[in-house]
Amino acid sequence: MKSIILSITLVLFSCVATAQEAQWRGENRDGIFPDTGLLNYWPEEGPELLTHVEGVGRGFSMPVADRGIIFITGTRDTTEYLSAYELSGKIRYSVPYGPAWSSSYPDARSAPAITGNKAVVISGGGTVACMDKKTGSMYWSVDGFGKFEGRCGDYGIAESPLVVDGRVIYTPGGELTTVVALDLNTGETVWTSESLEDSSAYVSPILVEYAGRKMIVGMTSGYLFGVDAANGSFLWTYNYYNDYPNLDSQLKHEFAVANCVSPVYKDGRIYITSGYDHGGVMLQLNPNGTGVSPLWKDPVLDCHHGGVVLVDGHLYGSNWMPGNKGEWCCIDWETGQTNYVKKWETKGSVVSAENFLYCYEERRGNLALVKATPLDFEIISSFRIPYGTGPHWAHPAIYDGRLIIRHGESLMIFNLSEITTTRSQ
């Protein structure tokens, strides 16, 4: 009897001991989720559907979960809302926070960041807002795009907020500045960087700790940059726009305003990639973190907006291909060498847990469980997401043994674990 109780306790612990910062693509913004004890194959019809909610608002943004609550942004009419749902699907609140983008793809694309008792969001129109995560009450709101005279591409603002040391990071671009830090408690401006005189991209920046300092690594339309998180000074910039000089002018225009993939960092190296035949580049930080130099370039994994993951020394993701079809790729982190390029449905988003890839193709909504191995694109199980409309562009999330999927106005939670637990509310 004691052994049975111990076994159950260990399984439960494996599910609940996965506390993570609730933000874009997980605790480290790398698409790697720490959950363990997950199913290593699925029934033919897919994992058990635990919860299905309709009416979360139009959006392509990733849902995030914190302490048993799912936070999700969505557009209704011309306004973006933050909604909070219990894992059962019961709604706690849905509150407006800013104007949506008014042109191409106006649906919400920015994921919220949950820190302490606060939820931070950025609207498609460039409003940065901070709310009480339990009630949705507004602490402060700043028209960041207007205040800093921002400049963006054809698709508005799609950046998910990054919170560093009590400061909210936002990249308005434009002539006044490139990236700014707002006080988490008040919304007041803490610092502004110099201007690169460039438009913002659709990239959510990451935090890198290197050479004794914290740096924010983000992108504009043409540049990758590193900014000192303490004061906003540029540590270095890299002209990504000029990496592929043989592209025709139209393709250069496309990728120069459509960088969407967050950089990937490990051990002093930074990898970036973009779609539209604009391949990836691996960069090495210099010893004091004030410069970068390219190590290799890769034309294969030109990821559009589905993200890439680094698992055991290999990068996985889908590429662009002519005609927006996409293939699934694996390349070596050290050398950029191609391990495989495989056709499966079309391009899409990818996250990882327990050395498996969760590949979610964007056209028909097939989701595959794939072994993370450089030898082949080995699909273990797959099923089709049953609800929602429009492109399947929201990245999956994994939380407490659950797979959380957003498709348009539909929110679904699937069971990935034999034992499902609920954290304290």
At 258-297, the pLDDT tens digits run 899 999 999 999 999 998 888 899 999 999 999 999 999 9
pLDDT at 18: 35
Residue range 234-244, pLDDT digits in tens:
999 999 987 76
Q: Is 412 helix (H, G, I), strand (E, B) or coil?
A: strand
Burial label for 318, CB within 10 Å (0-12, 13-18, 19+), is buried
pLDDT at 12: 38
Q: Is 369 helix (H, G, I), strand (E, B) or coil?
A: strand
Read off the pLDDT of each residue in 404-415 and give the average, rounded to a whole number: 98
The number of residues making up the chain comes to 425
Strand partners, 230: none
- Would you say 145 and 157 are in contact if contact means Cβ atoms under 8 Å apart? yes
pLDDT of 423 over the 70 cut? no
Residue ranges of alpha helices (H) inside 214-317 are 249-256
Q: How far apart are CA 141 and CA 139, in angstroms?
A: 7
Which of 307-311, 315-319, 415-419 bottoms out in mean pLDDT, i.e. has the lowest?
415-419
Q: How crowded is residue 366: how many other Cβ atoms within 10 Å of its Cβ?
A: 20
Q: How far apart are CA 164 and CA 181, in angstroms?
A: 9
Backbone torsions φ then ψ of 305, nearest 5 degrees: -150, 15
pLDDT of 141 over the 60 cut? yes
Q: How far apart are CA 54 and CA 92, in angstroms?
A: 14
Read off the pLDDT of each residue in 287-314 and give the average, rounded to a whole number: 96
In this prediction, what percent of the chain has a pLDDT beyond 70? 90
Q: Is 318 helix (H, G, I), strand (E, B) or coil?
A: strand
**What rounded mean pLDDT belongs to the chain?**
91
pLDDT at 124: 98
pLDDT at 248: 57
